[in-house]
Chain A
């Protein structure tokens, strides 16, 4: 048993033993759990993939005369300005004004909020256009100007739902091609898409949210951030394997970090043909090895993590609850799974290659003594259920 203080002391004196959630698997296998638990201080986890529920609060500073922005666009992407005078929230999936969306199906979705976020992080210039009704204290009615992230007082990424614990494998059992947030799915189960870092993914290494909770320090695209709460749709009360790992979505994290410190490589806009735009984001989370059990849970390997294969042509949109099969991440990463006796080619939207890079960067940072850990101020709920929305007849509420 180790404490956070003991681990932090070792980090400060640059003596901490840190390894990635991939490296720790073979290490524990070789050394044995007891010996390894004494040695290893921190295991780093990571993921890089589309996280639609991403966005940022921006503060422009005040103009002379002042304006209380009531509607605004950044590079023609609508931002939410129903907050204080010159604050806005820019959401990743918002499309550019006049984007034809799926008018000509499948749409290309070339530019949206995620692209503006990507440009900001790269330090590129963007255009602000804002309107106001004007008040005695905020007389200006219109503003059009150019700015970069350096001109902003704050650019704070605030993402209500990132790092899904596990995720569906999407497949198409119909006889027509479909376009989904998990990519283009050809008919008759010709291909499938998964989206998780598997054995490297943060919440798969801490399945009961023992160390990852509110206040946990994180690496977010190179910036120092924190987990500020349970993510939206967080639902730990789902079917789990014997090892405790959920066999479907389950937990999520709400994350925040200073966008000014982020590295462009890990903040990437994506365009999903026929679906929309989103933001791919790199997140790394350290797990302190406080006990043997915590270490054991970080040794989970792709072989022992299962994801549900769901038909996105009917079962997903209509919420039938039907699962065609379960596939392990070992099979998925090999590039081929078998569903109903048929071999299906598999691709991913989550980059394991980039996740390894992030877990290694974070491990190096901890070894250098640049990243200290702290206990969560509050645990994330394990027993929470995911409720659905019932559509009520108009005018009636029971």
Chain B
């Protein structure tokens, strides 16, 4: 793949956005689509006027388009987090009972090795459906918002 092709390849990246109180009324997603040619897939959002807001989404576009889009978001006082998602799995609270597994549609919660039956959380697979939160008897899964 030459450099030109690499630049044109559309990739998907996951972002966790935190909106402080003052930024919640701006149509940021609209601008991402219209001005930056990005495909937006929102997993979960909580954006309420007068309150802080959260948005977890996938952005699909070329690397350059995504970079420009994210730079645009950063012009506001929005916190952009690439390494985090809105669902948390607390390793110390998990007892590896495996009750969550049939409720997790994307196998983000899974047992990589059935010999030791240890449950692990693969955040990149999580679509934030929140099924684990109500189904974990030990409260190991929680939501940031």
Contact = CB atoms under 8 A, between A and B. Distances in A.
Contacts of A356: 116-117
B84 interface: no
Given A333-B114, A349-B97, A190 B102 contact: yes
B138 A353 contact: no
B117 A333 contact: yes
Tell me whether chain A's interface is mostly helix, strand or loop, or mixed. Answer: strand
B97 A350 contact: yes
Nearest to A346: B102
B39 interface: no
B135 interface: yes
A9 B98 CA distance: 40
B134 interface: yes
Contacts of A108: 134
Interface string B123-145: 00000000000110111000000
B92 to A, nearest CB: 9
B99 A183 contact: yes
**Those 5 A-B pairs whose CB atoms lie nearest each other, nearest first:** A270-B137, A191-B102, A353-B96, A345-B102, A352-B117
A273 B134 contact: yes
Interface of A: 48-50, 106, 108, 183-184, 186, 190-193, 268, 270-273, 278, 280, 333-335, 345-354, 356
Contacts of A271: 137, 139
A280 B138 contact: yes
Contacts of B87: none
B8 interface: no
A280 B135 CA distance: 15
Interface string B88-123: 000000011111111100000001001011110000
B95 A183 contact: no
B138 A347 contact: no
Q: Which of B98, B118, B138 has the most CB of A within 10 A?
A: B98
A336 to B, nearest CB: 9
A48 B95 contact: yes
A184 B95 contact: no
Given A50-B137, A280-B137, A347 B100 contact: yes
6 contacts: A280-B137, A333-B117, A345-B102, A347-B97, A348-B98, A354-B96
Q: How large is the interface on B (under 10, 10 to 19, 20 to 34, 35 or more residues)?
A: 20 to 34
Given A273-B134, A280-B137, A280-B138, A353 B99 contact: no
Chain B contact residues: helix, strand, loop or mixed: loop
B119 A353 contact: yes
Given A280-B97, A335-B101, A350-B97, 18 more contacts: A48-B95, A50-B137, A183-B135, A184-B103, A186-B102, A190-B102, A193-B99, A272-B137, A278-B137, A333-B114, A345-B101, A348-B98, A349-B137, A351-B98, A353-B95, A353-B119, A354-B95, A354-B96
Interface string B65-84: 00000000000000000000
A347 B114 CA distance: 12
A67 B134 CA distance: 42
Contact of B111 (A106, A268, A335, A350): A335
A49 B134 contact: no
A354 B118 CA distance: 9
A192 B114 CA distance: 17
Contacts of A268: 95, 138
A191 B135 CA distance: 13
Nearest to A190: B102
A347 B102 CA distance: 6
Contacts of B96: 351-354
Contacts of A270: 137-138
B96 to A, nearest CB: 4
Nearest to B116: A353
A193 B117 CA distance: 15
Contacts of A50: 137
A196 to B, nearest CB: 12
Nearest to B92: A265
Contacts of B103: 184, 191, 347
A346 B103 CA distance: 10
A335 B98 CA distance: 9
B114 to A, nearest CB: 6
A273 B114 contact: no
Contacts of B97: 49, 280, 347-351, 354
